[in-house]
Every structure is written in C-alpha cells, then in structure tokens.
Structure 1
C-alpha cells in the first residue's frame, strides 16, 4: 500500500469555481491563453480574450438598446406633458361651458390623436351643450366604473362602451380609458378609446388622463351649474 496521498481528480465544476474566485489567473499565466479554444461558430474557434471581447460587445449593445428605449420614453413623456400643459391652459382660459367642452374634445382628437372621445356630465338638467345624463342613469349603465372615482383602462363591456361613446362608435372601440370627474362631488366622466384592443391595456399608465380629469373636474362646476354633486 502506498503512503502517498491520493490526489483528488479535478472536474469542470472545480476548475470553473477556481477561475471565478481567481479572475486574474490568466493575467499571471498569459502563456496559456493561446492554447485555449472556445467554440464560437460551427467550424471556427476563438481565444478566451476574443470571446470575452465579444461578450462585452454584446452587453454594450444591449445597454445601448435599453438606454435608447429609456430616451424614447422620456421624449414621449415630454411630448405628452407639453400637450397636457396646453390643454390645461385652454381650460383655465375658458369663459363658458362650450369653450371647456371644445377645448377638451379638440385637444384630445387633434393634439393627442385620440380617435374616440366621450365627455359625459352628470346633471338633472340639460345644458344644451355637450352630453348630460342623470346620475341615476349613469350609475345604472357604468356604476362599476364609477366606484372609487379612479382612472381606469382596458377592455370594457359593450353596454359600457355604448354609454360612453354612443351606439355608432361603440362597435369600433377595442379598448378604452376613462377618468371619473370627481371634485367635491361627482360631475361626470371623460373617456377615450382606440380601435386597437391592445392600445389601452390594464397595465397602461393613466397619469396624464387622470391629471386632465382632475383639472376638468375643478373647472366644470364654474360653468355647468347645477351639476349633480354627490359626496
């Protein structure tokens, strides 16, 4: 029997673990680099340094794509903010209910390029301008959407689309977003729609629409008295 200790055989996992713990190994053993070959493409091979450069290049390209996407999102947000700012200023400058409704509908259709817009006021009186319905009628048709006074988006039921956009446009709306106009009472609902079922997904941010709704809810009561106000 031999008294010499038996060497533990090396396997790939132990070698890999050692190299992870000593990433500078090939700095001190440069003579080994030319002998290393790593599969790259069928019928070709590259050295470890070449492989590392390739991986770094791929990571750099991925980071550039991510940065480009973030810049695109930032530019889109800047454009949305500018359009929203102009709409808010138009609402503040309005001197009548007619001007308020026109400012909202014209901005959403032409500035924001929204194909379907529905602004419905809740009132027991017909103002002769825009669309007004009683609160009872609204709650019967879209009561679930009004609960919580939240801004929502996604696919809506046919009867909800008919109430928000009218019977003719309802069949063309694939997805929608809406803001409940609530400020010291319930004043109405602002809805926007798209023929694309995926355009207004449930995960889509509603920050700008919610902001427009908040401003509109504060401006409307000045000119649409008496609006139905329910706390």
Structure 2
C-alpha cells in the first residue's frame, strides 16, 4: 500500500521540499511542460484570490527591479559626490603646486578646506625641534605625547577622538564643538606633521569613512612643504 501524503513525517516533507526547490531551479520550464499541475497548486495571495505563477514571478521581478534601481541610484549619488570631491581636490593640488612660500601653502590648504570643502575645523601642524616663524610648529616630543597613538600607524584615521587629542589639534576652545574628525599624517624626507579636519556631527567622520582624498592631500603636502620651507629661518 502506498502511503498517503498526510502520513509522510514532517522532517521528510521538509527534505522533499528542499529537493523540489532544487529541482525547479534546475528546470525553470517545468511548469510550462506540465501546466496541468498548476491547477492543483495552492499559491496564497494578499486578497485571497488565486494568482498564476506568471503573475507571482512578475511581482518578484518587479520587486527586484525596484531594489536594483534603488541601489543604482545610490551608486550614482556616490559617483557624483566623488566627482565633485575629485574636482575640488584637483584645484587644491594645483594651487599647492603653484605656492612659493610656506605661508601660501598654509593659506591655500586652510582656505580650500573651509571654503571649497565646507569643513568647519581645519588644523595643519608641523613637527620639528627648530620651529619656523610660519604656520604652527610643535616639537616631535610634544606631538608624540599628545597624539602618539594617532601617529603610530602612519595611516589616516577617522572617528571620535579623546578630549586631549582634540585640544591639541583644534585648540581648547574649539575642541568642545568637534563631534568627529579625520587625521592624516605628513611624512616625507624628514618632514613630519598632521592635517586634521573636524565636523560638529559625531557621525560625519565615522571610523569606516573613506579617507582617500584626505590622504592624497597629505601626501602632496609632504612633498610641497619641504620645498617651500628651505629658506625659512628657525625661531629659537
């Protein structure tokens, strides 16, 4: 005697369901070749009405199409933002290459980041035992004591910093207004320093935020600053 379908154990039914799903995926034209089975199938519908597999398939395709268009729209927005960011970075780099003095370099960086990039908090700090009269210089020992952990990796970091780190980078008065920041190190041929930017929004510079453009600007600064600093006399 053949067992009735109702007598099949639940576990066996689940295993059979997996096999059926796998088989139908491997044979997408199955119901086209056996359309008589569609009459026996029960396919739920929100309205309680019957619905064909074609309608069900069309609904799934429409849902996936909407999701894909949404993802594509997000990618297009990111691409447009990157294009604008690249254009601003390109103009900044060209201005840095045209600078002939350290004063010009400092002014170009700060003005561009504040005006073009709309960054409210900007800090360019150079490290050296012989302090120059232009820009902000601190000793290497002072920098290590204040932000040593940020300098250890030599990579650009972003996120929320500690109070004493914010005070060193942006000053005691402004540190309370900085919700998040990104810090890029300057290292090239004996030059050491940091370029830091900050936002009032704690979520603006997340730890996972891309720092490619800031790192690129810092790399260019690392090569421009030594060139324009050679003629400066240290202040003792």
- Regarding TM over 0.5, the answer is yes
The Cα offsets for residues 99-155 of structure 1, whole Å up to 9 and x where unpaired, read as 100110011111111111011111334433321112221111111111132211111
The SS at the match of 1:149 is: coil
Within 5 Å, give how 1:1-231 maps onto structure 2: 6=2, 9=5, 11=13, 13=17, 15-33=20-38, 36-225=41-230
Q: Is the 8 A contact 1:151 1:178 kept in 2?
A: yes
TM-score by length of 2: 0.86
Query: Given the superposition, is the C-alpha separation of residues 178 and 16 from structure 1 closer, same or farther in structure 2, using an over 3 Å criterion?
Result: closer
| Most deviating of 34-43 and 167-176 | 34-43
Q: Is the 8 A contact 1:34 1:47 kept in 2?
A: no
Gaps of 5+ in 2: none
Q: Is the 8 A contact 1:221 1:227 kept in 2?
A: no
* Cα offset, 1:73, TM superposition: 1.4
Query: Given the superposition, is the C-alpha separation of residues 216 and 15 from structure 1 closer, same or farther in structure 2, using an over 3 Å criterion?
Result: closer
Gaps of 5+ in 1: none
TM-score by length of 1: 0.87
| Most deviating of 116-125 and 40-49 | 40-49
* Cα offset, 1:17, TM superposition: 4.7
Q: How many equivalent residue pairs?
A: 224
The SS at the match of 1:145 is: helix
Q: What is the alpha-carbon distance in structure 2 between the residues aligned to residue 162 and residue 39 of structure 1? A: 63
Q: What is the alpha-carbon distance in structure 2 between the residues aligned to residue 129 and residue 186 of structure 1? A: 15
Q: What is the alpha-carbon distance in structure 1 between the residues aligned to residue 132 and residue 50 of structure 2? A: 79
